[in-house]
C-alpha cells in the first residue's frame, strides 16, 4: 500500500470540462462532416445509376480511363479516376 492510498483523488474539474468540451466540439464537427459527405454521396447516386444505364459507369468523366475497382468500392459514385481526382484538389 502506498502512503497516498488514503488521500481522495482530486480531479482537476476545469481541465476535465475543457477536454470534454473539445471532444464534444470535435465530435460534432466530425458528425457534420460525415453527414455532409453522405448528402453529397446521395446526390451523386442518381447520376451513378444513369451512368450504369449508359455504360459509362466506372469510367472517368475527365479522361475516360477506367476508375480502379478499389476506388469504386470505397464510393461507387466517384466519377473521376485517381489521377484526375488528384489534379482537381
Binding site for Zn ion (CB under 5 A): 60, 62-63, 65, 81, 84
Q: How far is the CB of 78 from Zn ion (least distance, A)?
A: 10
Q: How far is the CB of 20 from Zn ion (least distance, A)?
A: 44
Task: Identify which of residues 12 and 64 has a Cβ nearer to Zn ion in the complex.
Answer: 64
Q: How far is the CB of 61 from Zn ion (least distance, A)?
A: 8
Beta bridge mates, 59? 66
Is residue 80 within 8 A of residue 65, CB to CB? The reply is no
Residue 52 exposure: Cα atoms within 13 Å on the Cβ side? 9
Amino acid at each position: 500500500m502506498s502512503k497516498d492510498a488514503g488521500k481522495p483523488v482530486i480531479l482537476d474539474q476545469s481541465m476535465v470540462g475543457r477536454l470534454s468540451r473539445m471532444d464534444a466540439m470535435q465530435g460534432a464537427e466530425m458528425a457534420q462532416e460525415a453527414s455532409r459527405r453522405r448528402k453529397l454521396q446521395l446526390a451523386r447516386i442518381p447520376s451513378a445509376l444513369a451512368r450504369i444505364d449508359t455504360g459509362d459507369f466506372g469510367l472517368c468523366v475527365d479522361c475516360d480511363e477506367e476508375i480502379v475497382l478499389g476506388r469504386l468500392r470505397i464510393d461507387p459514385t466517384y466519377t473521376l479516376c485517381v489521377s484526375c481526382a488528384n489534379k482537381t484538389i
